[in-house]
């Protein structure tokens, strides 16, 4: 082990003396702060942070890969060129110890540099919100969506196969579709797929005066005081004049109706733009002890005159905290190191 460690230390010393290593290090030291100041993303604080962290880690990964290749090649060829390898071979050291020592030296160098530059990226990301003017709503949104890792739960899709088969049979009887045994399987499958999408869309549509109910299970709240978020986007059959929809929401354990209420049910009245994502922040106390949560939307007939649709792919989901930005950042850095 002593021989391996000696080769590793010598490899690190050679790498430190290399001009290429110094150039790469200086390049990252200069580029990372400049990127933090120059990158705008989509113009929002969250967009700036996402773009900076993504590009910053990608740049560090790329330059460290190049540096690893250069150092690995240089240290060995330099030993051969300067004939230092011959003095090493006269020592009681095996060939595999030389190779392992070289690899260990390069690995330790990568660990030090990756730790240094990932720390720079992390500190810039953490302190970046203090150097940009952003309103309170944007800061809160950034805290909830960027500095907090969240898990998304989407409603389970209902089985509409029976309704699809009935719809096909009805259209076949009317002569609008050919009999199943007289069309190609690919064509039949495409028709069934379109009918299924249509039926699922109907299940996510609320006509005026109708309510929709989504049931979620196994919602895990890490901390009792944390919030959950209902993320949604409206679509409509007919665009309202102001392109907004009014909705009455209930979030909580609706299984308590008619019984003693132990878990609070929260009510919200909102008027939001169609085809735009929004989030409703709800106290985590709305989740029952067994992880059950219901979300109810009511299409208010006094304020709306259109069918409100929640697209199956992205119409509604429940988001709750699963981890922190720091933990996810460390995982990303470890993936770069092990990659």
CATH number of the domain to which 212 belongs? 2.60.120
160: number of Cβ within 10 Å: 18
Say if residue 134 is in the same domain as residue 167. no
Per-residue pLDDT of the chain (339 residues; tens, 9 = 90+): 677 777 777 777 777 777 777 777 787 778 887 777 777 777 788 888 888 888 888 888 888 888 888 887 777 777 667 666 656 655 667 777 777 877 888 888 888 888 988 998 998 888 888 777 777 777 777 877 788 778 888 887 778 888 888 888 888 888 888 887 778 888 888 888 888 888 888 888 999 999 999 999 888 876 767 888 999 999 998 999 999 999 999 999 888 766 666 788 999 999 999 999 999 999 988 988 888 999 999 999 998 999 999 987 778 999 888 777 888 888 888 888 887
The tokens of 144 are what? 């909830």
C-alpha–C-alpha distance, residues 49 and 140, integer Å: 14
Say if residue 63 is in the same domain as residue 211. no
Contact 228/284 with Cβ under 8 angstroms? yes
Residue 205's domain spans which residues?
A: 161-326
Say if residue 93 is in the same domain as residue 223. no
Whether residue 154 is contained in a domain is answered as no
Question: What single-letter DSSP state applies at residue 256?
Answer: G
Longest dimension (CA), the chain: 93
Say if residue 175 is in the same domain as residue 322. yes
Sign of CA dihedral 139, 142, 148, 154: positive
Say if residue 139 is in the same domain as residue 183. no
Contact 306/240 with Cβ under 8 angstroms? yes
The tokens of 54 are what? 């993504």
Looking at 146, 176, 200, the residue that finishes a domain is 146
C-alpha–C-alpha distance, residues 336 and 110, integer Å: 10
Residue 136 buriedness (CB in 10 A; 0-12 / 13-18 / 19+): exposed
Whether residue 89 is contained in a domain is answered as yes
* Continuous H helices in 39-151: 45-81, 84-89, 95-127, 136-145
Domain count, the chain: 2
Whether residue 152 is contained in a domain is answered as no
Say if residue 86 is in the same domain as residue 207. no
Looking at 95, 111, 146, the residue that finishes a domain is 146
Collapsing DSSP to helix, strand or coil, 44 comes out as coil
Say if residue 135 is in the same domain as residue 208. no
Looking at 146, 175, 191, the residue that finishes a domain is 146
53: number of Cβ within 10 Å: 23
Say if residue 113 is in the same domain as residue 27. yes
Say if residue 134 is in the same domain as residue 205. no
C-alpha–C-alpha distance, residues 289 and 50, integer Å: 34
Element (H, E) at 24: helix 19-38
Say if residue 316 is in the same domain as residue 191. yes
């Amino acid at each position: 082990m002593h021989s391996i460690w000696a080769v590793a230390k010598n490899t690190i010393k050679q790498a430190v003396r290399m001009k290429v290593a110094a150039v790469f290090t200086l390049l990252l030291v200069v580029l990372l702060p400049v990127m933090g100041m120059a990158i705008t993303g989509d113009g929002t604080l969250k967009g700036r942070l996402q773009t900076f962290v993504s590009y910053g880690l990608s740049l560090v990964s790329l330059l460290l890969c190049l540096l690893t290749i250069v150092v690995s090649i240089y240290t060995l060829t330099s030993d051969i060129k300067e004939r230092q390898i011959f003095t090493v071979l006269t020592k009681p050291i095996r060939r595999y110890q030389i190779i392992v020592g070289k690899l260990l030296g390069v690995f330790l160098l990568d660990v030090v540099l990756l730790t240094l530059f990932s720390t720079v990226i992390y500190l810039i990301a953490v302190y970046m919100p203090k150097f940009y003017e952003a309103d309170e709503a944007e800061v809160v949104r950034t805290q909830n969506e960027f500095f907090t890792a969240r898990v998304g739960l989407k409603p389970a899709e209902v089985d509409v196969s029976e309704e699809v088969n009935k719809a096909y049979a009805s259209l076949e009887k009317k002569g609008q579709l050919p009999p199943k045994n007289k069309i190609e399987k690919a064509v039949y499958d495409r028709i069934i797929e379109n009918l299924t999408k249509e039926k699922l869309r109907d299940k996510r549509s609320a006509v005026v005066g109708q309510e929709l109910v989504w049931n979620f299970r196994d919602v895990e709240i890490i901390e009792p005081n944390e919030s959950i978020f209902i993320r949604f986007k409206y679509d409509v059959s007919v665009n309202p004049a102001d392109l907004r929809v009014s909705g009455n929401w209930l979030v909580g354990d609706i299984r308590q109706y008619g019984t003693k209420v132990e878990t609070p049910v929260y009510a919200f009245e909102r008027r939001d733009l169609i085809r735009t994502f929004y989030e409703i922040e709800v106290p985590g106390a709305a989740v029952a002890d067994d992880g059950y949560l219901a979300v109810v939307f009511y299409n208010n007939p006094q304020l709306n005159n259109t069918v409100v649709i929640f697209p199956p792919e992205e119409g509604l989901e429940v988001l709750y905290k699963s981890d922190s930005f720091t933990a996810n950042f460390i995982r990303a850095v470890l993936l770069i190191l092990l990659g």
